[in-house]
Amino acid sequence: MDFYSPGKLLIAGEYVVLDGAKAFALPTAQGQSMHVESIEEAVLYWTSYDVDGKIWMQEQVAMDQLLNHEEIKGSAHLQTLVEVLRAAHNQNPALLQGGGGFKVRCKLTFPRLWGLGTSSTWINNVAQWFGINPYQLLQESFGGSGYDIACAQHKSALFYQLTDPIHPRVELVEFQPVFSKKIYFVYLNEKQSSKEAIQSYRTKKGLLSTEIKRISEISQALVTAPSASVFGQLIREHETIVGRILDIQPIQTRLFPDFNGAIKSLGAWGGDFILVLSDEDPTAYFAGKGYATVLPYEQMIAQ
């Protein structure tokens, strides 16, 4: 059996998506595949490869240990693997009880440290294998808003609202900006922990009804923005609002004040990718600042 899920980028709604804001997200052209092979031996062999073919996780566990909820000692990767598979097993107990075992191979098509959804693509692939609700599996393992699962599932630009953590509201949308050649994504090489970012947000946020309403409006307006200039105004306003909530300077003010264009943080502020809107190819500018990975829109976003 073979499964595949694309990665994700949260274009608008970071943090406040957790409190009901309408977020706007895009699936990436890159993702993660998973190949599952049944074997007679009652053991689960799991191997995960990075984009360069190097193994970053290689674990094995006896099926009876996995199914009997015995305490399993091993690496942090093994503990996470067991936690996710046990949660999946609780939703569909029949799959792992055939008497044999499995060889599973996962392969990323983006570098693992890019933060495009190593966990979410994996969770969605496991949910496809088990035939279960991926949002429930997410909540019972990693947690989070779930927008990344929506990208992995639907492979389309979408609005996402956390109306219910198990059955969120997902609205597929057409996003084909005429100015797509002016959109770039720059990797900041500062991997961020989503869990830590969420905890920090929880401690800083106040009453956000006005901000949530406006962010939701911005998400919708970005999809229909008629020009690069309007799109740029919207992402600058979004940065200002979220910066005020987090009490953090927007990244363009902090790191790139001399840049001639608009810059927006994506996901957990301070790392992973930023969205850059520029009339000219900004590769040389960012390379001069020490950021070598600059991807044009067509190369990053699933078409």
> Which residue is associated with the tokens 């050649």?
181
pLDDT value at residue 247: 82
For the whole model, what pTM was predicted?
0.92
Q: Provide φ and ψ at 42, rounded to 5°.
A: -85, 60
- Which of 148, 150, 145 is closest to 162 using CA atoms? 145
How far apart (Å, rounded) are the C-alpha atoms in residues 61 and 225? 51
Pick the closest to residue 92 from 135, 131, 44 (CA basis).
131
Task: Give per-residue pLDDT as tens, 242-297.
Answer: 988 888 889 999 999 999 999 999 977 766 899 999 999 999 999 999 999 999 99
C-beta separation of 166 from 133 below 8 A: yes
Question: Can you tell me whether residue 292 is helix, strand or coil?
Answer: coil
**Could you read off the pLDDT of 126-174 as tens digits, one per residue?**
999 999 999 999 999 988 899 999 999 998 899 999 999 999 999 999 9
